[in-house]
Amino acid sequence: MPELPEVETVRLGLSRLIIGKVISSVRHDNPKSFPNAPQEVKEFITQAHILEIRRRAKVLLIDLSSDYTLVIHLKMTGQLVFIGNKHQGKGKSNKLLGKAPKTPVTSTLSLIPSEPSARFGAGHPSSSLTGELPDKSTRVVINFADGSKLFFNDQRKFGWVKLFPSIEVPNINFMQKFGPEPLEENLTASDFILRIRKRAGTTIKAALLDQTVIAGVGNIYADESLWGAKIHPATKVNAVSDAKLKTLLRELRLVLNLALDLGGSTDRNYVDAEGKKGSYLNFARVFRRDGKLCIRCESEIIKIRVAGRGTHLCPICQKIVEKSL
DNA sequence: CACTTGACCTGTCCGC
DNA sequence: TGCGGACAGGTCAAGT
């Protein structure tokens, strides 16, 4: 669920919150979540300070002064939440259930408290849903010298943090395969059309989700932009006209920019660097709106399966085109 | 080679 | 109330 707007929102938040901070220690509970962080590599993390935070596709890059970079993928349920030093003024004191497990994180393998802590968003219309941290989804904790902390939480353990020499980051296999950023201005409509057409045999939705075609689009914004362009998600690429593809790029950009303004989409897990939900889904036109009415034609939104994903569409606005062009 | 499906995980929701 | 099973969806490996 963290797609381009969510990861970018996290990046902006972290840029405000942690640049310049010095890392004092890093702990992780699960080799899967931090696969290449053996003991000997820790010297490249600790005592380093945060230089810059970048994003490519759905990947976050945290550049360290040690010339190493933390490469982070949130996958489906990952979160990066910053908690300030509790002794400094207002802020992130979390006391949802009043049961503060004050056990500080002391050993690498025991950072998971028995207290599940407050359930996310329980009963709160407010935008914050971070309970006491760490909680049982916490996989990695980065401690800063000033007492503040950055938590990498990931309920489903699909996400990861990896450490690479900064100079090697552009050469990482998956980094090289990413297609262009959809919001990059020098991506022209004809570039976009050309890249989509390389997936002529598949559906337009599968092409949009393919990170090597265009980077950063996931299930939510694929459905939303296809509705905007009035294209049925199961339409074969070779049955979509150039004009429609041009419209699709425009709609994709509109949707991504709107989501950026709204802090992204929170379906269940996603929060930004301060633990706040995104509100795009309050404005979504098809995603998770099956059974409700299309705001354009008032027909009922349906949910089907395309490219192995739950797919939401308006069957009247988004007519499927069978024949190739 | 091009494309689709299954596996990875855990929490939630639904029906019985 | 409890329990089994379907479902959620980003990415890669395995299968067609």
> Does A2 participate in catalysis according to the annotation?
yes
- For nucleotide B10, the protein residue with its alpha carbon nearest to C1' is A156
A200-234 tens-digit pLDDT: 999 999 999 999 999 999 999 999 999 999 999 99
Residue A263 phi/psi, 5-degree rounding, is: 75, 20
Strands (E), chain A: 23-28, 50-56, 59-64, 68-73, 78-83, 138-144, 149-154, 160-165, 302-306, 309-313
- For nucleotide B11, the protein residue with its alpha carbon nearest to C1' is A155
Å: A7 CA to C10 C1': 13
A63 within 8 A of A50, measured Cβ to Cβ: yes
Å: A87 CA to C11 C1': 40
* Contact positions of strand C to protein Cβ (< 7 A): 7-12
CA dist A123 and A97 (Å) reads: 12
* pLDDT the model gives residue A323: 67
pTM exceeds 0.85, yes or no: yes
A132-189 tens-digit pLDDT: 888 889 999 999 999 999 999 999 999 999 999 999 999 999 999 999 999 999 999 9
* pLDDT the model gives residue A32: 79
Q: Which of A2, A5, A134, A233 is catalytic?
A: A2
A245-293 tens-digit pLDDT: 999 999 999 999 999 999 999 988 899 999 999 999 999 999 999 999 9
Say which residues have a Cβ less than 8 Å from residue A206's Cβ, sequence separation at least 6: A199, A306, A307
> Does A3 participate in catalysis according to the annotation?
yes
- Greater pLDDT, A32 or A232: A232
Among residues A318, A300, A293, A287, the alpha carbon closest in space to that of A224 is found at A287
